Amino acid sequence: MAKLKFKIDNEMKDRLDKVSEAGGYSSVEEFVLHVIGRELDKLDPGTDESEENIRKKLEGLGYLG
């Protein structure tokens, strides 16, 4: 399994702790993986989605300007 490492500020970490616990997740990591997986399924449902279509979806969601 690949590993990614990133930094988040304390406020976001506190929010992640709160939401993951309230949602019944065993860890923040489990919650984050679930959220990322859901977003990836929306953006790239595994049907050979083109980069252009993915970019349009990201723009529509406000991720790209």
Cα torsion at 6, 11, 16, 21 (round to 10°)?
140
- What is the residue-level pLDDT of the chain in tens, covering all 65 positions? 889 999 999 999 999 999 999 999 999 999 999 999 998 888 877 777 788 888 888 888 887 76
pLDDT given at position 54: 84
0.95 surpassed by pTM: no
The whole-angstrom separation of Cα 23 and Cα 42 is 21
